[in-house]
Structure 1
Amino acid sequence: MSEQNYNTINDQSCGWVHTATAAKAYPRFEGERQVDWVIVGAGFTGLSAAYRIAELNPRDSVILLDAEQAGKGASSRNSGYIVDITLNDGGSTLADEQTQLMKNRLNNAGLNLLRQRVNTHDIHCDWDESGKFHCAADKRNMPKLKNFSAFLERAGLEHRLWTKNELSQRLGTSYYQHAVQTRSGVLVNPAALVNGLIEHLPKNIELFEHSPALHISNGNTVHITTADGSIKADRVILAVNALMPRNGFKSSHVFPLTLTASLSRQLSDGEYASIGNPAPWGVLSASSMGATVRLTNDRRILVRNTV
Structure 2
Amino acid sequence: MVKTIKTKRLPKDPGPAGWNEIYKDKSSFPAVDTDIEVDWVVIGGGFAGLGAAKRLLQLLGSKERIAVIEARGIAQGPAGRNSGFMLDLPHELNSDTYVGSKEQDLRQIRLNREAITMAESIAHQYGMDKALFSRSGKITASATERGYRSIETYAKHLTALDEPYELLGADELYSLLGTQFYTKGLRTAKTAMIQPAGYIHSAYKGLALEGVQVYECSPVVEMKLNDSVHTLICANGSVRAKNVIMAVNGHIQSFGFFKQSLLHIFTYSSMTRAS
1:72 matched to 2:103: no
Q: TM-score, normalised by structure 1?
A: 0.77
- How big is each residue's C-alpha offset from its partner over 1:57-103, in whole Å with a ceiling of 9 and x where there is no partner? 1211122111110232111211210111123446369x712211111
Deviation at 1:18, TM superposition (A): 2.5
Query: What is residue 146 of structure 2 aligned with on the other side?
Result: 140
Query: What is residue 191 of structure 1 aligned with on the other side?
Result: 197
Give every structure 1 segment of 4 or more consecutive aligned residues whose post-TM-superposition deviation is greater than 6 Å.
none
Query: What is residue 292 of structure 1 aligned with on the other side?
Result: none
1:210 matched to 2:214: no
1:258 matched to 2:263: no
Deviation at 1:38, TM superposition (A): 1.1
Structure 2 matches for 1:143-292, cutoff 5 A? Answer: 143-164=149-170, 166-176=172-182, 178-202=184-208, 203-220=210-227, 221-265=229-273
Q: Percent identity?
A: 23
Structure 1: gaps (5+ residues): 268-307
Q: CA 1:184–1:34 in structure 2 vs 1: closer, same or farther (change >3 Å)?
A: same
Query: What is residue 32 of structure 2 aligned with on the other side?
Result: 29
Paired residue secondary structure (2:153): helix
Paired residue secondary structure (2:152): helix
Q: Which moved more, 1:39-48 or 1:114-123?
A: 114-123
Instruction: Return the structure number with greater relative CO, CA threshold 8 A, min gap 6.
Output: 2
The one-letter code matched in structure 2 to 1:251 is K
Structure 2: gaps (5+ residues): none
- How big is each residue's C-alpha offset from its partner over 1:100-151, in whole Å with a ceiling of 9 and x where there is no partner? 1111111111211211121121113513322112344543354332122123
Q: 2:104 aligns with which of 89, 99, 119?
A: 99
Partner Cα distance (1:26, 1:10) in 2? 22
The one-letter code matched in structure 2 to 1:149 is A
Q: CA 1:137–1:253 in structure 2 vs 1: closer, same or farther (change >3 Å)?
A: farther
Paired residue secondary structure (1:201): helix
Query: What is residue 51 of structure 1 aligned with on the other side?
Result: 54
Q: CA 1:135–1:252 in structure 2 vs 1: closer, same or farther (change >3 Å)?
A: farther
Query: What is residue 61 of structure 1 aligned with on the other side?
Result: 65
Partner Cα distance (2:203, 2:97) in 1? 39
Deviation at 1:43, TM superposition (A): 0.7
Q: CA 1:163–1:6 in structure 2 vs 1: closer, same or farther (change >3 Å)?
A: same
Q: Which moved more, 1:167-176 or 1:104-113?
A: 167-176
Q: CA 1:22–1:247 in structure 2 vs 1: closer, same or farther (change >3 Å)?
A: farther
- How big is each residue's C-alpha offset from its partner over 1:160-187, in whole Å with a ceiling of 9 and x where there is no partner? 2234554355334455454322111111
The one-letter code matched in structure 1 to 2:117 is N
Paired residue secondary structure (2:79): coil
Deviation at 1:231, TM superposition (A): 2.0
1:109 matched to 2:114: yes
Paired residue secondary structure (1:259): coil
The one-letter code matched in structure 2 to 1:204 is G
Query: What is residue 119 of structure 1 aligned with on the other side?
Result: 124
Q: CA 1:214–1:125 in structure 2 vs 1: closer, same or farther (change >3 Å)?
A: farther
